Amino acid sequence: MRLTLQPTPEQASALNDTRTHVSRLMNSLLVQARRQPDTPTDDLLGAHPDAPALPHATRRAAAQAAHDARHNTRGGLKGESYWLDARSLRLNPDTGHVTLWTLQGRHTIPTRLGNYQRHLLKTGRVQGGRVTQARNGDWYVNVQLDTPALPPARTTTDPLASRIDQLEREGKYAEIVRLLRRRNLSSKQTGQLALALLETGETDAAEIQLLRAAGVPQPDSRIHLGLSLLAAMRSGPEARIAHAKRGLEAQPDEVTRWWLICSYSRALVELGSAPEAQRIMADLLDELPVSELRSRARALYFAQNVSASMDDFESQDRYAREALRLFDLLGGHSESLSLRMDLGYRLFFEGRPEEALAMVHEVLRRAEELNDHRRDTTHLILGELYLLQEKFDTALHHLNLSIETQSTQGSDRLNVLARAFRAECLWRIGKIDLNVFERHIDALNPKQEFDHIAQAFYVGLIHVEHRQYDLALSRFEAVIEGVALLDGFRLRSHAFRTYCRWLMDTPLAQASTELIEVLSRIGGELALAVDTDRLAPLYAAFADLELGGGAARRLALRARPTLRITLLGNFGVTVNGAEVQIRLKKSRELLAFLCMNGAATRDQLMTALWDGEARSELGSYFKQALHALRQALKPALGAQDPLPLSSGTYRLAEKFDLRCDAMALQNWQQANSSVDRHRLADTYPGAFLPDADTEWVTEAREFLDNQWLALLMSVGSEVEITDPVAAAHLYLKATHFNPVFESAWSAAIAAYAKAGLSHLSQHTRAAAKRALNG
């Protein structure tokens, strides 16, 4: 029985001093016990200086705690509580006061005593109690009572009860609902029915059963378990952990106790105590018998979840695969849906998006078939993954369904996350501007830790948009140090934190240490793709300084993809080295026109592509050509239009790093040209767009031919100073292309003569005469 104490500050200080003293004794004994594994911990008490100050039963309990923990491979004892026997702990049921021993002497402290608790104290005998300090600082005593034995009841076998117990152990919840619905139930059966309703997606019906049962004296531990699981769906990790504790105090059977511990550990993760949760789950897995397949599979599922929250992906993968194997052996289970969803989510961050989405979509299909309460989570996960891939319309579809499903299920645990993602999608596709986006984020009303983390990320992103990098930096650091339910927030925050530090004059190698470490250890390169537009300068700097390895190089290419277009000779297009197929001839010609002439209006493009014709069907042909070109180039830019229309003109997106052989030849004479003229003069790949015959193409082809001839003559004159023979070969290359190019013939003759090769000079003179006179 739990009694809440109401101590004065002085009494609370005395309780805390005693607890600290006992904790120090326990941990000191634990250290000695590990060093001397064959010595009983009771034997170690005599030599310990902290032991004599404590009552005999208290120091024996401390020794037992050290003995129980001595075989753990690491870690100490938390020491949140200490034991007092009946001589050190006395209760007065009439006044509701407890008198207990402390290092500062005995203290009499009032308690919050209910009528039923008073009745138990009057009819039972106190054997002792454990004095404990809760996480919020409150003090309470878990009293151990020896209650008078009831006369033996006539034992009758209830076939239904035995059947329900067996179904519960097998996880056949739909059958439990069928057998127990519309019956008069005991507290235990009410808990069994409520859990079965939760597992079959009937959340509202389960909540009604749980709330009614919670008001009866000494509700079954399953009631507390159900309330704990329900709190997980209601944005309440504190309530979840409180109900789990009450369930553990209600003398649960083994299966229920194991499940309560799982729920307790998950609440610890959401409250920021993942290391403690990992320790608890490791102890539970050590305790669970191998024969308890379903409980072990459930515990492995929770353990992999805890490991994932600590970025311990090796443990997560090991636990997850073992859990999945057990669930498959058991013929499937609703929790296996969560496990598959977690595995699919991890696959995305490992760079396998197709496998990830296929797995999560399969989870969604099964959840809808079973009317499982995980549908809202699955839609949210799909919404985030599609958002990170810049498929914003698809992301919006799933996010709206997540919000709608939560409303139907009466759950709001993921509401803030779904609304935040939805606001980002609307902003990204231009349906709301930055000011409206900011209002959406301000209105999120976070209720739990990971809600605050999501809001902090988006506030940081808004600060970046306003160039307030110092304010943004603090927000991103809060995300990285906090508890984020979804990995995307932390990974994106690492990238933006690096960016802010770099812009605030921190050397890039120093600013990017954590980001590079995260990319190499965790992965998640795909999660950073959605922000490449804003972080393009950062990734370009990574590439220039050769930082971050392959991931940084790929992000630099994604931030500014290289569009390489071949227009001389055989037509070809690649993006970052990958070939792009453009199926329509007019689409290829449209791309060539935009490369060679820059931005153009619709009328200018149609006039060029169809030589000024005015047929009515040409408008439709133009739309087809434009659409085909956009579809071919769009995968390189995600949601961004590769051929944006701005102020009435079409152009290639500025995000492209455009490389075009015809453009290089066209512009080689310009002062700011970076063309390697000698390399360009080595070979002539072919005529400009040989498959097209429109007027603009013909004019461009003639101009480029003349540009190449001029290039040959220019490079030849430079080379002739040191190597007249090589210059003569360049001049002759020009004559092969244009046999009546008299200047090239003359230059070749002079170059050979300069080289002292008179016979070649005379031979070239004769060839020129034949070509020019023929």
* Measured distance CA(39)–CA(188) in Å, rounded: 44
Q: Name the range with the highest mean pLDDT among 37-46, 78-87, 537-546.
A: 78-87
> pLDDT digit string (tens) for 458-480?
999 999 999 999 999 999 999 98
In the chain, % of residues over pLDDT 90: 29
In this model, does residue 500 exceed pLDDT 50? yes
Identify which has the larger pLDDT, 129 or 551.
129
> pLDDT digit string (tens) for 60-103?
888 888 887 776 656 678 778 888 888 888 888 888 888 988 99
Residues forming a β-bridge with 645: 650
Nearest 5°: the CA angle 744, 747, 753 is 145
User: What would you measure as the largest C-alpha separation in the chain, in angstroms?
Assistant: 132
Q: Which residue has the tokens 């695969």?
A: 321
Among 88-102, 412-426, 430-444, the range scoring the smallest mean pLDDT is 88-102
Buried b / exposed e over 296-333, threshold 16 CB at 10 Å, is bbbbbbbbbbbbbbeebbebbbebbebbbebbeeeeeb
User: Which residues does 309 contact at the CB level (< 8 Å), separation at least 6?
Assistant: 269, 274, 277, 483
**Mean pLDDT in residue range 748-753:** 91
- The SS3 call for residue 569 is coil
In this model, does residue 271 exceed pLDDT 70? yes
User: Which residues does 83 contact at the CB level (< 8 Å), separation at least 6?
Assistant: 57, 58, 61, 62, 128, 129, 130, 131
* Measured distance CA(337)–CA(333) in Å, rounded: 7
Closest C-alpha among 375, 355, 362, 291 to residue 332: 362
Closest C-alpha among 83, 75, 36, 77 to residue 58: 83
**Mean pLDDT in residue range 697-709:** 91
> pLDDT digit string (tens) for 565-584?
999 988 999 988 889 999 89
Among 125-134, 433-442, 676-685, the range scoring the smallest mean pLDDT is 676-685
Q: Which residue has the tokens 């001029």?
A: 710
Of how many residues is the chain composed?
774
Residue 746 identity: S
- The SS3 call for residue 724 is helix
Q: What's the Cα-to-Cα distance from 744 to each of 687, 734, 737, 756, rounded to whole Å?
A: 20, 6, 11, 19
**Mean pLDDT in residue range 338-347:** 84
Token code pair at residue 730: 């360049």
The predicted structure's pLDDT at residue 126: 84
**Mean pLDDT in residue range 414-442:** 93
In this model, does residue 524 exceed pLDDT 90? no
In this model, does residue 653 exceed pLDDT 80? yes
In this model, does residue 412 exceed pLDDT 90? no
Token code pair at residue 592: 């060539």
Q: What's the Cα-to-Cα distance from 178 to each of 126, 171, 201, 766, rounded to whole Å?
A: 43, 14, 14, 106
Q: Catalogue the E-assigned strands of 447-606.
A: 562-566, 572-575, 578-579, 600-601
Helix pair angle (159-170, 173-180), 10° resolution = 150
- Give the dihedral sign, CA 701/703/709/715: negative
- Give the dihedral sign, CA 690/696/698/700: negative
In this model, does residue 626 exceed pLDDT 70? yes
Identify which has the larger pLDDT, 94 or 193.
193
Identify which has the larger pLDDT, 622 or 272.
622
* Measured distance CA(98)–CA(100) in Å, rounded: 6
Q: Using the 8-state DSSP alphabet, how is residue 331 labeled?
A: T
Q: Using the 8-state DSSP alphabet, how is residue 568 labeled?
A: B
* Measured distance CA(597)–CA(697) in Å, rounded: 11
Buried b / exposed e over 550-568, threshold 16 CB at 10 Å, is ebbebbbbbbbbebbbbbb
Reported confidence tier of residue 368, pLDDT bands at 50, 70, 90: confident
Identify which has the larger pLDDT, 332 or 714.
714
Among 268-277, 307-316, 610-619, the range scoring the smallest mean pLDDT is 307-316
> pLDDT digit string (tens) for 120-166?
777 778 888 888 887 778 888 888 877 665 455 454 556 788 888 88
**Mean pLDDT in residue range 765-771:** 90
**Mean pLDDT in residue range 297-316:** 82
Identify which has the larger pLDDT, 150 or 503.
503
The predicted structure's pLDDT at residue 155: 46
Residue 681 identity: A
Which domains are present in the chain? 2-146 (no CATH), 163-260 (1.25.40), 333-433 (1.25.40.10), 446-557 (1.25.40), 562-662 (1.10.10.10), 682-773 (1.25.40)
Mean pLDDT of the chain: 85
Closest C-alpha among 343, 374, 336 to residue 359: 343
Closest C-alpha among 344, 274, 280, 352 to residue 312: 274
* Measured distance CA(297)–CA(285) in Å, rounded: 10
The predicted structure's pLDDT at residue 497: 94
Helix pair angle (513-521, 549-559), 10° resolution = 100
**Mean pLDDT in residue range 353-375:** 87
The predicted structure's pLDDT at residue 330: 79
The predicted structure's pLDDT at residue 595: 92
The predicted structure's pLDDT at residue 433: 92
The predicted structure's pLDDT at residue 64: 84
Distance of CA 202 to the CA centre of its chain: 29
Token code pair at residue 502: 């770099």
Closest C-alpha among 417, 385, 383, 341 to residue 527: 385
**Mean pLDDT in residue range 587-592:** 94
Reported confidence tier of residue 503, pLDDT bands at 50, 70, 90: very high
The predicted structure's pLDDT at residue 403: 93
The predicted structure's pLDDT at residue 515: 86
